[in-house]
Amino acid sequence: MRIVFLLSIPTLALATEPLEDLDAFHDVPGFDEEDFDPIINGEDANIDEWPMAGGLLASGTGTLGPIELDGRLLMCSSTLIAPDVVLSAAHCVDLAGILDQAGIPGLTIADLEFAWSRQTDLSMYQFSLTGPEPYPDDVVLVHDYVHPDAWDIGQLQMGLHKNNDISLLFLDEAVEGVPFGVIITEEEDDAFEVGVDVEIVGWGQQTDAQAAPEGTVGLKQMGTSWVSLNAKAEFKVGEEVDDVRKCHGDSGGPSFFEVETDSSTPWRVVGVTSHSYDLSDCRETGGVDTRVSAYLDWIEDEMRARCDDGSRVWCDIEGILPPPNAEGEIIDDDGNVVWDKEGPVEVAATSTPDEDEAKACGCASGTSPLSGVWLLLALPLLRRRIR
């Protein structure tokens, strides 16, 4: 039997029965109210700090026998990498895999929907018998998502391996006025090694307790950590208990690495929060990120494919957006400025009538987005057993 701890909020909720009140937590060994540090050992982040980071919300109706619940939940953290593309973890969208591992016969999910928000406080999106909370004002719906074909939650391994825990989500509309997270290039990645600092962002646990007390999860947090182990497809963030570390709810969120560059921004998205390093979960050591540089070709191909089929809403640059120049601009192959310091710049259309008609259909390929409502009904899976 192999046990793996995923660092999403659903795996946290599936691990524990809901607490009646916060006082129940004082019986947890090692619990101390004064130890509630953001992320773990981090600090509060406002909406303008790492503005490309966002929370991934999921809505839907779960049915198990006579029980039917509507829910809207904070699933994971994530990063805007283009005006209409969000980067996250594969396990954040793999409902089928999670349900298979949970082994709950008869559970069905309907009216599934993902959405993305930059609000710093998403703590209200959790289990409730009174129905789902309204979406935040800035929410953008997701119409499609994808993860690598090789992703298999049943084969996820601890330590550092190639687990393929990465996903892209495609938004219904372009997000304006928000800088995107710049994906690290192959050349820049040469400087990424053990010992370098990384900035981490997420909406996850602020304490290393195995379950999160009320008010300590779902709030945007940030901190400076370091790379303690590094491999081709994954790396470890932090090492000691006192290091800034990631925990449940930070899954899918970014690690940023500062590079030497003439670009207007030196920060690069280098990691996606994935899973625990060992059986201690978040309690004793750092967690593991998927290394973005191992998936550059995959990201490029998936972004371009959805421009080719007309399902994306922003294709001024079809693949990975390059780092802005020193003036904060991105220039396309035709010499047009498609991005400046204010965000996307509208470029005059040059497509043919047939191409315009194809794009206007707004057809989305792939399956509908999957929700995390399954966690409302299934409450025993933080220690996910993989046969």
The series of mean pLDDT values per 10 residues for the chain, 387 residues long, is: 50 36 30 37 85 94 87 92 98 83 80 94 80 92 98 93 98 95 98 96 68 69 93 91 65 95 97 86 80 99 98 97 95 89 74 47 36 34 34
Q: How far lies 58's CA from each of 31, 72, 324, in Å?
A: 30, 5, 32
For residue 177, give its domain range: 2-294+367-386
Instruction: Report the half-sphere exposure of 206 (CA within 13 A, side-chain side).
Output: 23
What is the domain count for the chain? 1
Does 219 reside within a domain? yes
Q: What is the CATH number of the domain that holds 62?
A: 2.40.10.10
Indicate the residue type of 187: E
Q: Is residue 61 assigned to a domain?
A: yes
Q: Could you tell me how far CA 254 lies from the centroid of its own chain?
A: 7
Flag whether 320 is in a domain.
no
Which of helix, strand or coil describes residue 12?
A: helix
Cβ distance 237 to 200 under 8 Å?
yes
Decide if 317 is inside a domain: no
How many Cβ atoms are within 10 Å of 221's Cβ, its own excluded?
A: 30
The Cα–Cα gap between 379 and 376 comes to: 7
Q: Which helix (H) or strand (E) holds 304?
A: helix 296-308
> Is position 300 within any domain?
no
Please count the other Cβ atoms lying within 10 Å of the Cβ belonging to residue 119: 19
Which pTM value belongs to this model?
0.79
- Report yes or no on 316 lying in a domain: no
Q: What is the pLDDT of residue 99?
A: 74
Q: Break the chain down into helix, strand, coil percent, rounded to 5.
A: 15, 30, 55
pLDDT of residue 32: 35
Is 59 inside any structural domain? Answer: yes
